[in-house]
Amino acid sequence: MVAGGSGRRFGGLKQFATVGDRPLVAWSIAAARSVSDGVVLVVPADVPGGARESVGAAGADAVVPGGATRAGSVRAGLAAVPGEAEVVLVHDGARPLATPDLFRAVLVALEGADGAVPVVPVADTLRRQHGAVLADTVDRTGLVAVQTPQGFRAAALRRAHAGAPEATDDAALVERSGGSVVTVPGEATNLKVTGPDDLVVAAALLAAAR
C-alpha cells in the first residue's frame, strides 16, 4: 500500500485525512485485507510518529518509511514483503474506493501473466495545448486510464525493481524487464484523491456505498 507522497498538491498529508470515521488510507487497507495474507503500508519517511501509529492501527501488518520517489517507496514496501510470497499487489493509498471485487479480478488475471492492471476507457475529449492555444485533438481510440491495485508475480516485480529503476507505474517496469502484463476492467468510481475536492467526492461515494 503506497502512501508515501508528500501531499504537495493536496496541501497536506492526504493519506491521514479523515474520511467518514477513519483515515483515508484505512479504506484502501480494508479492501486489500479482503484478499491478502498481509498488508505493508508505506508512509513518508518524515511522517510524525503519532500519525504513523494511527494509520498502522488501521489494519496494516507493517508500516515502513518510503523513498524519495514512488518507485523507491514501492521498493521499500517490497523489502518488507516476506520472501515466500508468490503474488504482490501494489495499490495507491489515495484510492479508497477500489472494491474487493476489483482486487479479486486482478488476482484472477494473474493466472496467465506476470502482471495485471485495471484500466478504464478515456471518456473526455483530449487536446494538445501549446501555451494558451489548443492544437489538434488526440484520437482516444485505444487509450485507457490505468488504475490500481496492480498485481504481479512477486519474482517478476522484484526482478523489475532490481537496480532501482524509476517509473511512475510498476506495470511499465515489469514490461521493461520482459514480463507480460494483462488488463482487467477498472471501476469508474475508483478515483485517486489528489485535491481537497476529491476528498469530498470520495467521502460521499463511500457513505453511499455503506
**Could you tell me which residue, 14 or 171, shows the higher pLDDT?**
171
List of residues 6+ apart from 178 with CB closer than 8 A: none
Number of H helices, E strands in the chain: 7, 11
What phi and psi, each to the nearest 5 degrees, are found at residue 208? -70, -30
pLDDT, one tens digit per residue, over 63-102 is 888 898 999 999 999 999 999 999 999 999 889 999 999 9
Nearest by Cα to 152 from 179, 124, 125: 179
**Could you tell me which residue, 25 or 158, shows the higher pLDDT?**
158
Look up residue 7 and give its DSSP letter.
-
pLDDT, one tens digit per residue, over 171-210 is 999 999 999 999 999 999 999 988 888 889 988 998 888 7
Q: Show me where the domains of the chain are located.
A: 14-209
Q: State the alpha helices, DSSP H only, in 47-192.
A: 49-56, 70-79, 100-109, 154-161, 170-176
pLDDT, one tens digit per residue, over 133-162 is 888 999 999 999 999 999 999 999 999 999
Q: Write the CATH number of the domain with boundaries 14-209.
A: 3.90.550.10
d(CA 3, CA 108): 25
Side-chain-side CA neighbours of residue 66 (13 Å): 22
d(CA 70, CA 35): 23
pTM over 0.85: yes
Tell me, what's the pLDDT at 52? 56
